[in-house]
Structure 1
Amino acid sequence: MECAPVILFVFNRPMHMARTVAALQANELAEQTPLFIFCDGQRNEKEAERVRQVREQAKTVTGFKSVTVVERERNYGLAGSIIDGVGRLCEQYGRVIVVEDDLITSPDFLRYMNQGLDLYADEERVASIHGYAYPVPNDDAPESYFLRGADCWGWATWARAWKHFEPNGAKLLMGLKEKGLAKAFDYGGNAFFLAMLRNQVKGKNQSWAIRWHASAYLDNMLTLYPRQSLVENSGFDDSGVHCSDVDYYAGSLGHAPGKLQKIPVEVNEQMRLRVLGFFAKMRRQRMNDFYKLVFSAGVKRIRKVVGLAAS
């Protein structure tokens, strides 16, 4: 098996990067895998030292077939860095595995990704292979299944699929509405995907992931997911630019099948409904957490006012 290159995007979190690299090094195919580390530039002087630490750390990484460090001369932002980096490696290698600096992968992550890339290389409708699986009941789930669209936590794609990426969020939003796909794209209004895309159009976020998902969804493309998640996100500690300290997606690392079997390229309706249920539950949890936060803030304010009145 000729292993696809891994592209790792890092910025200013040396501890997170160290954990991500260690997990990749523990993969059985690490020594056969070319690794490219794209280091984004600082936004201000306050970040300079941690950006420097990450770059020095990147230069010491071993355990792979080769290690290439790309140091950005300016700050691209995560979206700009990923769009540029994935495009460059797809053009050079025809396929790529994408990892960010807060993702922890299982030891068989690279095997699963490479097998998926090989199995579905010529299936035009398949947009990507995904390592993370939503925390839904999976005892009776197949070893792999397809959902419509694309995803962003430990994924792989081909040059032929990445050509479908549309960077214009307004065009994507209009397309979803014109084709009557907005509600389904947003899992019945539960996933906040439409809100994220609208905010990207308004310049309130720079999410490349929502545009990748919308691009694939509009073109009726699918992504392959594993039964057990092969990726954990360690970034929900409020350390990242785009992550909070609340993790609604938490799960545990599982195992990939020894040999991934090819399945029909069609949406697994059972798993789609389970993921819809996950988003519906998450929406309720987020609303409850919001109300608790508002109530807590209100109580603190009342106590402060009462305390002032008593003094």
Structure 2
Amino acid sequence: MIPVAVFAFRRPDVLARTLEALRGERIPLLIAFSDGPRHAADEPGVRAVREVLHAVDWCPVEIVERDANLGLGRSVRAGAGHVLGRHESAIFLEEDIVCNPGTYAYLSAALRHYAADERVFSVTGWTHPMITPATTRPYFDGKGECWAWGTWRRAWLGADRPAEDVMRDCAARGIDVERYGSDMPKMAAEAASRNLWAVGWWYHHMLSGGLCLRPPRSLCEHVGWDDRATTATPDGLRWRNPPLEPSPPVPMEWPEPIEHPDCPNLWRAAIGDPPRIPHTISPISGASQW
């Protein structure tokens, strides 16, 4: 049983696209978290979202309707803890992530394959030409992902700590907190005030030497770039993927968990940072040390 969890707020039209893309994926269980309104103006959208969720009849559904508004960061942290408290692994989507056919099969196969490999902390269906190495195979990245991602209970333990605390622990262990970009410490400093969760997840990977499996091309796209969206990516439009190609088949052989050496500098180049040159390779995690 690998459920899919969806986080929704007030955009029924976008959510309907995301759910329709999941309809034919043979999902064993959909767990939906419907955030409460921030103010009266949100109430019609929240009600409409719940109508969309209650109309799902193509798989078993559990719906958690919140009276108060948690915001995305608190909603994801609480929801992931709730799901992984009952299931060993799960796949997580925000309401505006539309997946290609075959994405669930691909990610659930990856979750099963690496379930006992503690070097792997997460899997994702999202990548982008700016941060994807020259490869035609799945690859490992030392930076986690927050769009169309999956993980295990074992990897989530401790992931809900404040981002600044995890970043400080990284620094205390000699881990370069700007390894994947100078934007990360800035985001960690703002995580509490802006209700961000992803940067803490990224540093959680780095602190533990955990890796994220990415596909060689994106299996999904973020479709929520509009004035109703609340996003931590102010230049989000530049992160749109080119038109998606069909999802690749589930690999017959999965790669060994070793970070692709190009990943850190691809992330840095994507935000305009200069490259950093690795000088050793860790025999334990396979990650380059900086």
- The TM-score range, normalised by the shorter chain, is 0.7 to 0.9
Contact 2:131 2:270 in 1 (8 A): no
Q: Structure 1 residue 83: deviation in Å?
A: 1.1
Q: Structure 1 residue 170: deviation in Å?
A: 2.8
Q: Structure 1 residue 246: deviation in Å?
A: 4.5
- Is 1:55 aligned to residue 50 of structure 2? yes
Contact 2:12 2:52 in 1 (8 A): yes
Report the equivalent of 1:199: 190
Q: Which moved more, 1:78-87 or 1:114-123?
A: 78-87
* Compared CA separation, residues 138 and 50, structure 1 to 2 (3 A): closer
- Is 1:92 aligned to residue 86 of structure 2? yes
Report the equivalent of 1:279: 271
Contact 1:186 1:194 in 2 (8 A): no
* Compared CA separation, residues 84 and 18, structure 1 to 2 (3 A): same
Q: Which of these residues, 262, 265, 273, is aligned with residue 257 of structure 2?
A: 265
Quote the Cα distance in structure 2 between the aligned partners of 1:73 and 1:237. Answer: 25
Quote the Cα distance in structure 2 between the aligned partners of 1:229 and 1:274. Answer: 16
* Compared CA separation, residues 272 and 182, structure 1 to 2 (3 A): closer
- List aligned pairs for 1:117-132, cutoff 5 A: 117-132=111-126
Report the equivalent of 1:241: 230
SS in 2 for 1:232: strand
Report the equivalent of 1:294: none
Report the equivalent of 2:73: 79
Deviations 1:100-151 (A, max 9, x none): 0011111111011111101100011111001110223869404100011311
Deviations 1:155-211 (A, max 9, x none): 000101111414222312312322333454343x2xx111111112xx431111111
Contact 1:103 1:231 in 2 (8 A): yes
Quote the Cα distance in structure 2 between the aligned partners of 1:174 and 1:147. Answer: 21
Quote the Cα distance in structure 2 between the aligned partners of 1:168 and 1:138. Answer: 29
Q: Structure 1 residue 272: deviation in Å?
A: 4.1
Runs of 4+ aligned structure 1 residues displaced above 6 Å come to none
- Normalised TM-score (structure 2): 0.86
Q: Which runs of 5+ in 2 are unaligned?
A: 274-290
Quote the Cα distance in structure 2 between the aligned partners of 1:61 and 1:259. Answer: 27
Quote the Cα distance in structure 2 between the aligned partners of 1:68 and 1:209. Answer: 24
Q: Which of these residues, 13, 16, 22, is aligned with residue 15 of structure 1?
A: 13
Q: Which of these residues, 37, 52, 61, is aligned with residue 42 of structure 1?
A: 37
* Compared CA separation, residues 50 and 245, structure 1 to 2 (3 A): farther
Q: Which of these residues, 81, 95, 98, is aligned with residue 101 of structure 1?
A: 95
Deviations 1:243-275 (A, max 9, x none): 657412111323433222221111111344434
Quote the Cα distance in structure 2 between the aligned partners of 1:212 and 1:138. Answer: 20
- Figure out how many residues of one structure are paired with residues of the other and give that number: 271
Quote the Cα distance in structure 1 between the aligned partners of 2:131 and 2:210. Answer: 24
* Cα RMSD after superposing both structures: 2.1
Quote the Cα distance in structure 2 between the aligned partners of 1:48 and 1:138. Answer: 40
Q: Percent identity?
A: 27
SS in 2 for 1:269: coil
Quote the Cα distance in structure 1 between the aligned partners of 2:212 and 2:8. Answer: 25
Q: Structure 1 residue 97: deviation in Å?
A: 0.4
Q: Which moved more, 1:92-101 or 1:246-255?
A: 246-255
Contact 1:173 1:198 in 2 (8 A): no
Contact 2:167 2:177 in 1 (8 A): no
Q: Which moved more, 1:150-159 or 1:133-142?
A: 133-142
Quote the Cα distance in structure 2 between the aligned partners of 1:5 and 1:278. Answer: 33
Larger Rg: 1 or 2?
Answer: 1
Quote the Cα distance in structure 1 between the aligned partners of 2:241 and 2:162. Answer: 33
SS in 2 for 1:204: helix
* Compared CA separation, residues 17 and 167, structure 1 to 2 (3 A): same
Structure 2: which amino acid aligns with 1:107?
Answer: P
Report the equivalent of 1:175: 169
